[in-house]
Chains A and B, each alone.
Chain A
């Protein structure tokens, strides 16, 4: 089937079998391999991307459900020379070790910060409930998200 979708601002038309998952479109057809597949069963969150601005698990979305949507992946939020505040905070706070979960963590964290006020340690831990990290023990991830929240909310409130 033909699917038209916008990914990181650019329009794409892909021709894929109807049993293709959104994550396959991103990784195999568009070469956007920053979105990872950990569990493939909607549990780990490594495949998290934004669909029309909200975080979703791209391993659990079918090509047909992606028609006409706007997708943002980890490649679409910043660049090596101009990191997104969430990426910068993850680097500052050593919020990753192997890095496998990191793209999904960052995409979930950005949605969390965009949709909540007055985040604290507990709210960040609850907000990231759909993302699992095998390495860090979460402490530094929470610190990074709180740091980024100050930057992101500070600039958007003004």
Chain B
């Protein structure tokens, strides 16, 4: 006899082309659940915190898999490509090491081997109150357990809170926002493209969903333009454990330099906001400056000038500032 939790019985559809998948998604709406590698999904179901009627397993749709170069010198990554492939792909390792570096820090090898880029980008937040199935704002209720006098909110947000103070758990999302990627989305009623920066949404926009995807939509692929291909990158993820842990704060940075001066830059932090958090003030302040310790010391406080701390997450303020300093020190 099995001694462990049992997955609730859930209908399973295994379409082999996008048309069938989008037709199913349109019919099932929020009662359907798209399945990438399932690495984020089964925990929700085993804990009885989410109960979809049916899975739409995307594994059999080959066009959603793989990494190809684009005519403009960029790269397109299918949503069902595994995180291991993203981390090891030669094209990405040659041009966009920011993404491969971030992908290497996701979870553990076994999860990277099954987990997909699409699933990593669309995964729900790790706020433990919510994951335990409590009826908080994000679950449709009318209270936030994390932002309460007794709430444990060490992992929670410094920015962008609106009733909910949960953060994005995805390590690949900040890298794709830094690289100015575009998401290709499809549904039975057509296709659209959304900039990575607009793909992730905070609670002020939609407190029930972490992405701009509608219930009937599927993420097809992610396109990274050539723009940052020759840039200098910096990636660092700080977690309670060195390996196998979600980020407390992570930083993805891309710099373009000319004659010893920064000419363009994107700095995006994970773990501090419901969405990948762009450090626009820092980006603007370093244009025309050399990439060194002095610049870092001068601008690092700008990373957190808009931060609102909770009871237990003040430590993220100096942590973020230090990551900015380290990114600029090079």
Contacts and interface: CB of A to CB of B under 8 A. Distances in A.
Interface of A: 1, 17-21, 24, 27-28, 37, 40-42, 45, 48, 51, 54-57, 59-62, 64-65, 108, 111-112, 125-127, 129-131
B3 interface: yes
Nearest to A18: B12
Given A19-B9, A60-B114, A65 B4 contact: no
A62 B42 contact: yes
Interface of B: 2-12, 14, 35, 38-39, 42-43, 46, 55, 57, 59, 84, 107-111, 113-114, 242-244
Contacts of B113: 51, 54-56
Nearest to A40: B4
A57 B7 contact: no
Contacts of B2: 24, 27-28
Grouping DSSP codes into helix (H, G, I), strand (E, B) and loop, the B interface class, with mixed when no group exceeds half, is: loop
Nearest to A45: B110
Interface of A, secondary structure class, is mixed
A29 to B, nearest CB: 11
Contacts of A21: 7, 42
Contact of B110 (A1, A125, A130): A130
Contact of B6 (A1, A19, A51, A131): A19
The 3 A-B residue pairs whose C-beta atoms are closest, nearest first, are: A130-B108, A129-B243, A19-B7
Contacts of B109: 55, 108, 111-112, 127, 129-130
Given A129-B243, A129-B244, A55 B59 contact: no
A28 B1 CA distance: 7
15 contacts: A1-B12, A28-B2, A40-B5, A40-B46, A42-B43, A56-B113, A56-B114, A60-B42, A61-B114, A64-B12, A64-B55, A65-B38, A126-B242, A129-B243, A130-B108
Given A24-B2, A37-B4, A130-B244, A18 B39 contact: no
A124 to B, nearest CB: 12
A54 B84 contact: yes
A48 B42 contact: no
B12 A129 contact: no
